Structure 1
Amino acid sequence: MKRRYLLYLGLLLPLAACTLHVDGDRGYAPPPHYAPPPQVEWRWDPDLDVYVVLGWPHLYYRDRVYYRWRDHDGWYWSDRHDGGWSRGSKQLPPGLSKKYGKQRRSYGGGGGY
């Protein structure tokens, strides 16, 4: 009888060492998106669900696209942090839409969201 208990204990003991860790706070580590290139410093903003580019006001990054907000004419996007900007949102991440609200365009047509 003791051998049976020892056998069960021997089989269950290794399983007790297995643990599962679920990180409920997304603020510590970014999700599996493309990380921004090293040309700029950034931090992950879990509320906006984008990387915030430090030192560049209203500049964001997610999945190989930079997004730039300009108060007077709205969203621009680029594949580089320093230029080649195109007007419009190019599938603006939902967190940015929430933060900046609906864009009121004073220009006619083109881009936006």
Structure 2
Amino acid sequence: MKRYLLLVGLAVVLTACSVHVGGRPHPYYAPPPQVEWRWDPGIDAYVVLGWPHLYYRDRIYYRWHDNHWYSSDRHDGPWAKGPKGVPPGLNKKYGKPGRGPGGGGY
């Protein structure tokens, strides 16, 4: 009986960890609480509210500025120029770096 309860308990825990209600799951790491954000499924990244052209995904902030991507592990920098695994949805929204403005922002 103890084995049965242990197996049932383990199954419940594992099921709860793997089930995602509401469609496609978000990336593994949510943004830190220092900023407000919302998930945008169209670009497959978080939009940082109150900071124009600033996004977050998997522990990296992405900033579009002067037709180039910058990345940082903090929402306020320091920023490193150049793409660092920019999510495809962001490249689609803005275009490739150096090709001129490709889209709007938030």
* Fold agreement, TM-score > 0.5: yes
Q: Partners in 2 of 1:21 and 1:61 — Cα distance?
A: 20
User: Aligned with 2:61: secondary structure?
Assistant: strand
Residues 27 and 58 in structure 2, CA contact (< 8 A), matched pair in contact too? no
Change in 2 beyond 3 A, CA 1:105/1:43: same
In structure 2, what is the equivalent of residue 97 of structure 1?
A: 91
Is 1:85 matched up with 2:84? no
Q: Partners in 1 of 2:94 and 2:53 — Cα distance?
A: 10
Unaligned runs of at least 5 residues, structure 2: 1-18, 101-106
State the percentage of identical aligned residues.
Answer: 72
Q: Partners in 2 of 1:21 and 1:91 — Cα distance?
A: 25
TM (norm. structure 1) is: 0.65
Q: Which one has more relative contact order, counting CA pairs under 8 Å at least 6 apart?
A: 2
User: Aligned with 2:90: secondary structure?
Assistant: helix
User: Which residue type is aligned with residue 22 of structure 2?
Assistant: D
Q: Deviations over 1:13-50 (max 9, x none)?
A: xxxxxxx99634x5xxx524200000000000001000
In structure 2, what is the equivalent of residue 76 of structure 1?
A: 70
Q: Deviations over 1:61-96 (max 9, x none)?
A: 0000000001x2411000000111000110110100
Larger radius of gyration: 1
TM (norm. structure 2) is: 0.69
- CA RMSD, Structure 1 to Structure 2 (Å): 2.2
Instruction: Report the number of matched residues.
Output: 82
Q: Partners in 1 of 2:27 and 2:94 — Cα distance?
A: 24
Unaligned runs of at least 5 residues, structure 1: 1-19, 107-113
Q: Partners in 2 of 1:98 and 1:51 — Cα distance?
A: 15
Is 1:39 matched up with 2:61? no
Q: Hey, which bits of structure 1, 4+ residues long, moved more than 6 A?
A: none
